[in-house]
Structure 1
Amino acid sequence: MIKNFVFICLFLLLSPAFAQQVATGFVFEDINKNGKKERREKGLSGVAVSNGREVVLTDASGKYSLPVGDDNIIFVIKPAGFAVPLNGFNQPQFYYIHKPKGSPSMRYSGVAPTGPLPKSVDFPLYSSEEPMEFTALVFGDSQPYNRQELAYFQQSVVEEAKREKGAVFGITLGDLVGDALDLHQSYIEVMQAMGRPWYNLMGNHDMNLDVDRDEWSDESFEASFGPANYAFSVGEAHFIVLDDILYPDPRGGRGYWGGFREDQLDFVENNLKYVPKDRLIVLAFHIPLFHINEGSFRNSDRQRLFDLLKDYPNVLAMSAHTHLQRQNYYTQEDGWHGTKPFHEFNAGTTNGDWYSGKLDERKLPISTMRDGTPKGYTRLKINGNSYDLAYQVLGMPADYQMHLFHPRVVASNRGTQAGIFVNFYMGHKDDRVEYRVDGGEWVPMVWVDTVDPEFVRQVMEWDTSENLMPGRRPSNPVNSTHLWRGNIPTNLGNGVHRIEVRAQDRKGNTFTQESEYLLADPVIN
Structure 2
Amino acid sequence: MNLKIALLTGVLFSNVLHAQEMIRGLVYEDVNQNGKKERREKGLPQVAVSNGVDVVLTDQSGAYQLPVRDNSIFFVVKPNGYQFPLDENNMPEFYYIHKPQGSPDLKYKGSEPTGKLPKSLDFALLKDETEKEQFSALVFGDPQAYNMDEIAYFDEGIVQEISNREKFAFGLSLGDLVGDDLTLHDPYKKTVGKLGLPWFNVMGNHDMNYDVQQDVLSDETYQKNFGPNNFSFNYGGAHFIVLDNIIYPNPRTGKGYLGGFRKDQLDFVENNLKFVPKDKLVVLAFHIPLLHDNSDVFRNEDRQRLFDLLAEYPNTLSLSAHTHLQRHNFYTKEDGWKQDKPHHEYNVGTTSGDWYSGLKNKLGVPTSTMRDGTPKGYAILNIEGNKYTFDYKVAGEPEDYRLNIIFPAAVQQKYLRRHTLSVNFFIGASSDIVEYSLDGKEWKKMNHTETEDPSFQYHVLKFDNAETMMDGRRPSNAVKSTHVWQAKLPGKLQAGQYTIQVRATDMFGRTHLQTKDLKIVE
TM-score range, shorter chain: over 0.9
CA contact (8 A) 2:333 2:340 kept: no
SS in 2 for 1:381: strand
Q: Assess if the C-alpha contact under 8 Å between 1:438 and 1:497 holds in 2.
A: yes
| Higher mean C-alpha deviation, range 37-46 or range 311-320 | 37-46
Distance 2:146 2:247 in 1: 22
Equivalences for residues 399-410 of structure 1 within 5 A: 399-410=400-411
| In 2, Cα distance between equivalents of 1:107 and 1:323 | 27
Residue number in structure 2 paired with 1:95: 95
- 1:326 equivalent in structure 2: 327
Deviation at 1:56, TM superposition (A): 0.5
CA distance in 2, matches of 1:235, 1:5: 58
Matches of 2:34 and 2:184 in 1, distance apart?
Answer: 30
Moved more, 332-341 or 106-115: 332-341
- 1:94-142 CA-to-partner distances (Å, cap 9, x unmatched) read 0011111110110000011111110000001112121111111000000
Q: Hey, what does 2:168 align to over in structure 1?
A: 167
Structure 1 residues 491 and 88, CA gap change in structure 2 (3 angstroms): same
Aligned residues of 1:103 and 1:219 also touching (Cα < 8 A): yes
RMSD value over aligned CA atoms?
1.7
Name the counterpart of 1:394: 395
Alignment match, 2:211: 210
Maintained 8 Å contact 2:417/2:490? no
In structure 1, distance between residues paired with 2:13 and 2:295: 39
The answer (yes or no) to whether the contact 1:245–1:259 under 8 Å persists in 2 is yes
Report what 1:302 is aligned to. Answer: 303
Aligned to 1:446: 447
Displacement after TM superposition at 1:319 (Å): 0.3
Partner of 1:287: 288
1:241-272 deviation per Cα after TM superposition (whole angstroms, max 9, x unaligned): 00000001111222000000000000000000
Distance apart, 1:88 and its partner CA: 1.1
CA contact (8 A) 2:204 2:287 kept: yes
1:122 alignment counterpart: 122
Any residues of structure 2 matched to 1:240-319 within 5 Å, and which? 240-319=241-320
Task: Tell me, in whole angstroms, the C-alpha distance in 2 between the residues paired with 1:132 and 1:260.
Answer: 31
Residue of structure 2 equivalent to 1:336: 337
Which residue does 2:52 correspond to in 1?
A: 52
Is 1:32 aligned to 2:32, yes or no?
yes
- The range that moved more, 325-334 or 488-497, is 488-497
Q: CA deviation at 1:380?
A: 0.6
Structure-1 separation of matches of 2:377 and 2:199: 17
Show the counterpart of 1:82.
Answer: 82
Please say which of residues 291-300 and 367-376 is displaced more in the overlay.
Answer: 291-300
Q: Distance in 2 between matches of 1:10 and 1:141?
A: 53
2:77·2:233 contact (CA, 8 Å) conserved in 1?
yes
Query: Alignment length, in residue pairs?
Result: 521
Secondary structure class of the residue paired with 2:462: helix
Decide whether aligned partners of structure 1 residues 188 and 377 sit closer, same or farther in structure 2, where only a CA change above 3 A counts: same
Partner of 1:411: 412
Distance apart, 1:517 and its partner CA: 2.1
Unpaired runs of at least 5, structure 2: none
Mapped partners of 1:142, 1:199: distance in 2: 14
Counterpart position of 1:113? 113
More displaced, 403-412 or 44-53?
403-412
Q: Which one-letter code corresponds to 2:176 in the other structure?
A: D
Higher mean displacement: 11-20 or 126-135 = 11-20
Structure 1 unaligned segments of length 5 or more: list them. none
Alpha-carbon distance between aligned partners in 2 of 1:20 and 1:261, rounded to the nearest angstrom: 23
Distance 1:449 1:34, change over 3 A: same
User: Matches of 1:45 and 1:164 in 2, distance apart?
Assistant: 32
Q: Deviations over 1:385-428 (max 9, x none)?
A: 11110000011111110101113333325562421000000000
Match of 2:71 in 1: 71
Q: Partner letter of residue 153 of structure 1?
A: F
The C-alpha deviation readout for 1:157-178, integer Å capped at 9, x for no partner, is: 1101254331010010000000
Aligned to 1:479: 480
Distance 1:485 1:179, change over 3 A: same
Q: Which amino acid aligns with 2:198?
A: P
> Separation in 2 of the partners of 1:291 and 1:17?
44
Q: Measure the CA separation in 1 of the matches of 2:316 and 2:486.
A: 32
Q: CA deviation at 1:489?
A: 2.0
Q: Which stretch shifts more, 65-74 or 448-457? A: 65-74
Which range moved further: 400-409 or 360-369?
400-409
Amino acid in structure 2 at the alignment position of 1:383: E
Aligned to 2:228: 227
Change (3 A) 1:9 1:295: farther
| Aligned counterpart, 2:427 | 426
TM-score normalised by structure 1 residue count: 0.96
Distance 1:368 1:17, change over 3 A: farther
Q: Is the 8 A contact 1:370 1:476 kept in 2?
A: yes
- Aligned-residue offset at 1:27: 0.5
Judged with a 3 Å threshold, the aligned counterparts in structure 2 of structure 1 residues 156 and 184 are, in CA distance, closer, same or farther, namely same
Q: CA deviation at 1:235?
A: 1.2
SS of residue paired to 2:297: coil
Q: Residues 16, 139 of structure 1: CA spacing in aligned structure 2 closer, same or farther, 3 A cutoff?
A: farther
Question: Deviation at 1:291?
Answer: 3.9
What residue identity is the alignment partner of 1:174?
G
Displacement of 1:328? 1.1
Amino acid at match of 2:105: S
1:101 and 1:112 in contact (8 A); partners too: yes
- CA distance 1:186–1:162, shift in 2 (3 Å): farther
1:20 positional shift: 6.0
In 1, the alpha carbon distance for the partners of 2:367 and 2:265 equals: 38
TM-score, normalised by the number of residues in structure 2: 0.97
- Aligned letter for 2:73? I
How has the CA–CA distance of structure 1 residues 115 and 414 changed in structure 2, closer, same or farther, with 3 Å as cutoff? closer
- Structure 1 residues 2 and 278: alpha-carbon distance in aligned structure 2, compared to 1, 3 A threshold: farther
Contact 1:26–1:121 (8 Å) recurs in 2: yes
Distance 1:261 1:463 in 2: 44
Change (3 A) 1:211 1:191: same
Question: What is the letter of the counterpart of residue 447 of structure 1?
Answer: H
Q: 1:20·1:69 contact (CA, 8 Å) conserved in 2? A: no
Residue 399 of structure 1 aligns to a residue whose secondary structure is coil
